[in-house]
Chains A and B, each alone.
Chain A
Amino acid sequence: MLNLIFAQLINGITLGGLYALIALGYTLVYGILLMINFAHSELFMSGAFVGLGVMTLLTSATVATKYPAMAPAQHFFTQGGTAGLISMLLITFLSAMVVVGIMGVATERFAYRPLRHAPRLAPLISAVGVSIFLQNAVLLWISPQQLPFPNPFGDSVAFTIGTTSISTLKVVIVVTAIGLMIALDTYVSRSRMGKAMRATSQDREAAGLMGIDINRSIMLAFFLGPALGAVAGIFSGMYYGSIVFNMGFIPGLKAFTAAVLGGIGNLRGAMLGGFVLGIAEALGSGFISTGYKDVIAFAILILVLIFRPGGLLGESVVEKV
């Protein structure tokens, strides 16, 4: 019994790390533009596909026979022990982050910026349009089927507690997720650009009057969020072993729930919300019912919103007349 709780707790933390990474993207954008970026789940999915492409390029034997120049590099990445593995992963993650980050910025530029002064629902519909577009682009131009995603850590076990063994992949996911969150938090609270972002989110017009380039702050939010989403996308490919064009929808919905749970617009809230949701879901599917695990997630969300409308870390809202 205790073992089951423990194993589910580990799964929950892993899942929570992924949710939190995606949730940060929602919350960053909401914090600045007050819009729900529905296309974020598709950027997460794109991250997984870009990651798979880069990994294939760096390790696949077919690529090596086609382009012999790649062979020595590939030899290092596949046979080079820990150093090779780490550099391969770094290249994969960084390139996916950059590509997806640019996709995020492009989405903002073409789909949302023209609508900044439109009625509130317009950007939402536009985001749904982008989401449909990206899904179908991957479906048509890459693959309509599930693609297998390699797990470079294999079955290796990081450590064993009692009878529960914890895989290296899970440890890597949690450590990376927490590391990225600390980095983002530090960046937003300490750096000059972070300060500009916070100012923009507080009052766009006043920030503009103070000489802050609000477009740059907004673009930064649309770069950072999707870049973190791309990391989550690659990890979830490794975790579940396959990726498909519509894989973004459910995690996106959950991560969004997590963002709201923590208090949308609040970075630390999104992290907390991600972990709470992941753990609740893992425990729920272990002890109540797998089929109802999504009901648990949404029921928690609804209860929190009804009793604490601002989310766990958000302030309650008083309407001014």
Chain B
Amino acid sequence: MAGTKMDINTKVGAGKASPLKIALYTLLAAALIIVPLLFEGFGWIFVTHIMALVGLYVMLALGLNIVLGYAGLLDLGYIAFYAIGGYSGVIVGAWAYSHAKVLGPFIYFMMIPVAAAAAALTGIALGTPVLRLRGDYLAIVTLGFGEIVRIIITNNPFGITNGPAGLPRAGQFIPSPLGLEYMQNHWYFTIPGLGPNGFNFQFDNNLYWYYIVVLLCLLTIFVVRRLDQSRLGRSWAAMREDEVAASSMGVSITRAKLWAFSLGALWGGIAGLTFANFQQFVSPESFTFMESVFVVCTVVIGGMGSIPGAIVGAVIIQGVPAMVQGLAAAGKLPGVDPATATIIANYRFLVFGLFMVVMMAWRPQGLLPSKRRAAELAEEGEAAEEESETLYDAQHDTGMPGE
């Protein structure tokens, strides 16, 4: 263990020293800041919108990565935390706003800890009863949990969630966050000669939330990296590889699992709150089981336990289909007439489904698996098979009929 830790530290240190890496990161940061401005100016506003949504998916994927990638617990109901973050933030925020209107611009920021705490506590509430379950059984219970949360929200308990119609209720609104109105009213300019339709920049809702989401993603990445290298992160790795062995080496499985559930849920909650504020609306429709599955796909296609993988996965799962549709809707696919564009937009999910099948056959470990995981993967196939056979034997000695 000590060896692993030192290796990681040297790697991080080496990364900081290399001038090439510094240049690369600077370039990346500049692109993150400037590219959406260009899209806005040239009239491709929907791209900024998609980029912000992709950012939210990155957060979700990083959060689920803690549970799935680090701790090795398959959670098929992760979207429930997204829902709980969104709803708790909006409900508590509306209550606070109704009592003190002056808080309006700060509501979103004040609600971040509320949403995070609500999601993390729910994570513990889910984690406690399922401590003994593992593998597929855990997956199924979390799936049931995710559905229960969605159904309860749809049924409008005590009249607080407004059922399928969603929040805010008619006549209410989510207060605009600090500075957004000012920026919208003051930050605009036009350069007529630039591009076919001129460069018309107008700071808008999409840009504001895009930058918030980018900051949140950076925060998530920072914390998640720290977690992975921490004592807790090492106990997750040990637990993931062999729960019994880890437990006998002194790792508290209860503690490690509950931390994984609550720390994973926390990011889902913050992302949910941001999503609700960005869309100015939250309804149970956004939190279906398929969304949970898509977050799992993001993590797996990117590469489990890998931070760059989560980003690439989010771009592929959330970004590409949305971009195809957006481009087709805006008539911006080069050299494609509107009729063909509609067909392309309609076929995007069909192709997406095929892509997932091909992708898994081609690179089952994901596009950018983490280095630590990549080293383990050579043995993983066998180990997984052995483990599940044990589980299955015990069940099946008397399980199938006629024995």
The chain A residues found within 8 Å of chain B, CB to CB, are: 31, 34, 36, 38, 110-111, 114-115, 117-126, 128-137, 140, 185, 188-190, 194, 198, 201-203, 249, 253, 256-257, 260, 263-269, 289, 291-292, 294-295, 298-299, 301-302, 305-306, 309-310, 313-321
Q: Which interface residue of B144, B243, B359 has the most chain A CB atoms within 10 A?
A: B144
How distant is the Cα of A269 from the Cα of B396 in the complex, in angstroms?
12
**What 1/0 flags go to B357-376 for Cβ under 8 Å of A?**
10111001100000000000
The chain B residues found within 8 Å of chain A, CB to CB, are: 74, 129-130, 132-133, 136-137, 139-141, 143-145, 147-148, 151-152, 154-155, 243-245, 289-290, 293, 296-297, 300-301, 304, 346-347, 349-350, 352-357, 359-361, 364-365, 377, 380-381, 384-385, 388-403
How distant is the Cα of A292 from the Cα of B147 in the complex, in angstroms?
11
How distant is the Cα of A249 from the Cα of B291 in the complex, in angstroms?
13
Residue pair A266, B399 in contact (C-beta under 8 Å) = yes
Can you list the 4 inter-chain pairs with the closest CB atoms, starting with the nearest? Answer: A189-B402, A129-B356, A133-B353, A132-B353
Given A122-B364, A125-B360, A201-B396; 17 other pairs, CB 8 A cutoff: A31-B400, A123-B360, A128-B297, A129-B355, A129-B360, A133-B350, A136-B349, A140-B350, A189-B401, A202-B396, A249-B289, A298-B151, A302-B148, A315-B399, A317-B395, A319-B244, A320-B390
Q: Which interface residue of B74, B353, B391 has the most chain A CB atoms within 10 A?
A: B353
Q: B385 to chain A: which residues have CB within 8 Å?
A: 117
Closest Cβ neighbor of B350 among chain A residues: A136
How distant is the Cα of A119 from the Cα of B144 in the complex, in angstroms?
24
How distant is the Cα of A301 from the Cα of B133 in the complex, in angstroms?
13
Q: Which interface residue of B151, B346, B403 has the most chain A CB atoms within 10 A?
A: B151
Closest Cβ neighbor of A120 among chain B residues: B384
In terms of DSSP, what is the predominant structure of the interface of chain B? helix
How distant is the Cα of A269 from the Cα of B400 in the complex, in angstroms?
9
Q: B357 to chain A: which residues have CB within 8 Å?
A: 110-111, 126, 129-130, 133
How distant is the Cα of A194 from the Cα of B389 in the complex, in angstroms?
20
How distant is the Cα of A301 from the Cα of B357 in the complex, in angstroms?
30
Contact of A119 among B139, B384, B390 (CB under 8 A): B384
Closest CB of chain B to A218's CB: distance in Å?
15
Q: B151 to chain A: which residues have CB within 8 Å?
A: 291-292, 294-295, 298
19 contacts between A and B (CB under 8 A): A31-B399, A31-B400, A119-B364, A121-B300, A121-B304, A122-B360, A125-B359, A125-B360, A129-B353, A129-B356, A133-B350, A135-B349, A202-B393, A260-B140, A289-B155, A291-B155, A301-B141, A302-B145, A306-B129
Q: B401 to chain A: which residues have CB within 8 Å?
A: 185, 188-189, 267-268
Q: A198 to chain B: which residues have CB within 8 Å?
A: 400, 402-403
Q: B141 to chain A: which residues have CB within 8 Å?
A: 301-302, 305-306
Residue pair B400, A115 in contact (C-beta under 8 Å) = no
How distant is the Cα of A120 from the Cα of B391 in the complex, in angstroms?
14
Residue pair B381, A119 in contact (C-beta under 8 Å) = yes
How distant is the Cα of A137 from the Cα of B147 in the complex, in angstroms?
26
Closest Cβ neighbor of A261 among chain B residues: B140
Residue pair A265, B396 in contact (C-beta under 8 Å) = yes
How distant is the Cα of A310 from the Cα of B395 in the complex, in angstroms?
7
Closest Cβ neighbor of A36 among chain B residues: B136
Residue pair B353, A114 in contact (C-beta under 8 Å) = no
A125 and B297 in contact (CB under 8 A), knowing A253-B289, A265-B399, A305-B141?
Answer: yes
Residue pair B133, A309 in contact (C-beta under 8 Å) = yes
Closest Cβ neighbor of B136 among chain A residues: A36
Closest Cβ neighbor of B147 among chain A residues: A298
Residue pair B155, A260 in contact (C-beta under 8 Å) = no
Contact of B296 among A36, A114, A115, A125 (CB under 8 A): A125
Q: A185 to chain B: which residues have CB within 8 Å?
A: 401
Closest Cβ neighbor of A141 among chain B residues: B350
How distant is the Cα of A316 from the Cα of B396 in the complex, in angstroms?
10
Residue pair B354, A309 in contact (C-beta under 8 Å) = no
Residue pair A253, B147 in contact (C-beta under 8 Å) = yes
Q: A201 to chain B: which residues have CB within 8 Å?
A: 392, 396, 400
Closest CB of chain B to A280's CB: distance in Å?
14
How distant is the Cα of A124 from the Cα of B384 in the complex, in angstroms?
14
How distant is the Cα of A269 from the Cα of B365 in the complex, in angstroms?
34
Residue pair A115, B361 in contact (C-beta under 8 Å) = yes
Closest CB of chain B to A170's CB: distance in Å?
26
How distant is the Cα of A257 from the Cα of B377 in the complex, in angstroms?
31
Closest Cβ neighbor of A122 among chain B residues: B364
Contact of A34 among B356, B381, B388 (CB under 8 A): B388
A121 and B74 in contact (CB under 8 A), knowing A257-B144, A263-B399, A306-B130?
Answer: yes
Q: B289 to chain A: which residues have CB within 8 Å?
A: 249, 253
How distant is the Cα of A150 from the Cα of B155 in the complex, in angstroms?
32
Closest CB of chain A to B261's CB: distance in Å?
15
Closest Cβ neighbor of B130 among chain A residues: A306
Closest CB of chain B to A183's CB: distance in Å?
13
Residue pair B395, A265 in contact (C-beta under 8 Å) = yes
Q: B152 to chain A: which residues have CB within 8 Å?
A: 295
Q: B403 to chain A: which residues have CB within 8 Å?
A: 189, 198
Q: A265 to chain B: which residues have CB within 8 Å?
A: 392, 395-396, 399-400
Q: A295 to chain B: which residues have CB within 8 Å?
A: 148, 151-152
Residue pair A140, B392 in contact (C-beta under 8 Å) = no
Residue pair A317, B400 in contact (C-beta under 8 Å) = no
Residue pair B360, A298 in contact (C-beta under 8 Å) = no
A118 and B360 in contact (CB under 8 A), knowing A133-B350, A295-B148?
Answer: yes
Residue pair B402, A190 in contact (C-beta under 8 Å) = yes
Q: Which interface residue of A135, A202, A249 has the most chain B CB atoms within 10 A?
A: A202
How distant is the Cα of A299 from the Cα of B244 in the complex, in angstroms?
29
Closest Cβ neighbor of B152 among chain A residues: A295
Closest Cβ neighbor of A266 among chain B residues: B399
Residue pair B360, A126 in contact (C-beta under 8 Å) = yes
Residue pair B399, A125 in contact (C-beta under 8 Å) = no
How distant is the Cα of A257 from the Cα of B398 in the complex, in angstroms?
21
